[in-house]
Structure 1
Amino acid sequence: MEKIVILTGAGISAESGLGTFRDEGGLWAAHRIEDVATPEGFARDPKLVQNFYNMRRAQARKAEPNAAHYALAKLEQEFTGEVIIVTQNVDGLHERAGSQNVMHMHGFLEGALCAGCGHRWPAPLNMKITDRCPKCKEVATRPDIVWFGEMPYDMEDIWDHLRSCDYFVSVGTSGNVYPAAAFVQDAARHGAITIELNLEPSAVVSDFAESHCGKASDIVPEWVEKMLSVRK
């Protein structure tokens, strides 16, 4: 049974109105990464960080999946093998489009995490610095987001998938953030066919066997239809 591992980054959600921290004029433009996306920033000003992620959570809830998200959900439903989505995104649009095998390596906006005991629970729309953990009752609530300097989630399982897949496909990623930027090399070393689908070539485009540029809502559905048609 063939296995496809798909890495998705902010580029797949850009057409749904969710910008990256490199975009001008978005939520990230008004904040330094060091202030809102690091454990140190949270320790300095937890209220600022909570408010920032409250805004991101509200924005994500208003966004709708686009054709690229729906195409990957269709691939999972109709492909005769296994499809795993490893996403750097925290917006939940893959699940809302219908994908089920999704690994959130950078966490999830809809999750809350206790910094004290590690308990997780669904996040309210507006998290507050006074919120208590429902398990240990400590005032230690933070967004369940992997910040810079922290270890991404599920890495052992992700490496196992990369080393056993037949296809590794990267969609909408910059190739600037590790460890995700190294996924293509690891998959290729273990025999996978590697494909990049991106608005423009990433920083690691030379590591891919194939590269296709264009809007995610155009090139992802085209690639999915190709994959499904040759297996009918």
Structure 2
Amino acid sequence: MPVPTAYWRPLKTQKGFRVFSRRNTLVSGLFHAVCWLVVLVLILHVAFFNWQLMKPLNVGGTFMGGGMATELYLMGWGVATLGLIVAILLRLPGAIYGWIGSGLLTMGIGAWWQLNYPDNDTGNAIYSISEHEIGSFMIIGVIVLSTGFYAREKLKNRVPDPEQMPVQFIAAVLLGAFFIGVPLAKYTEKPLPYCAFNKAGQQLSICIGKERVIVD
């Protein structure tokens, strides 16, 4: 006796639904993993630049008092912070916690250097940052932490929109490619020699009273 259609069609539909549901779960898991990875990378960037900016170095006798390095670190810190803001505006999973974490790290690094600020018994040392300036960074950390908790309270009951996932995923991939690719490219880049010039005569590195080195 043949099996009525009513008995086997729902089984086929149910099996297809299970496959579709499993696929959605895998896609959602990949999406969240990528977003959290990007947030972690952004936090590491913020922590690195905070550490470099708040680390008191004796810059007495250095070229421009080490100001060029400070400007680069400030620029890097600003770009990393902007990346976190973009992640928050796009509502990437974990972005709010990344913002809160960056505030905590800023406060923690500042507290560490406040407690371990080097002594200047002779009074001849010139440090790249003062204790007062470190305190200013800590205030920024408090502001970031406070705004993070405020944003979390505002957004905790908001249901994510699945239709925004493709845009969020593309944005997360682009952020990850930038904040992972640029440091890797910089790390693998061969450093320029002292007093380097290109063939067109453009100066590429610091040169004070030394013979020029022509590089390609």
What TM-score do the two structures reach when normalised by structure 1? 0.25
Structure (1/2) with the larger helix percentage: 2
User: Larger Rg: 1 or 2?
Assistant: 2
The structure where strand makes up a greater share of residues is: 1
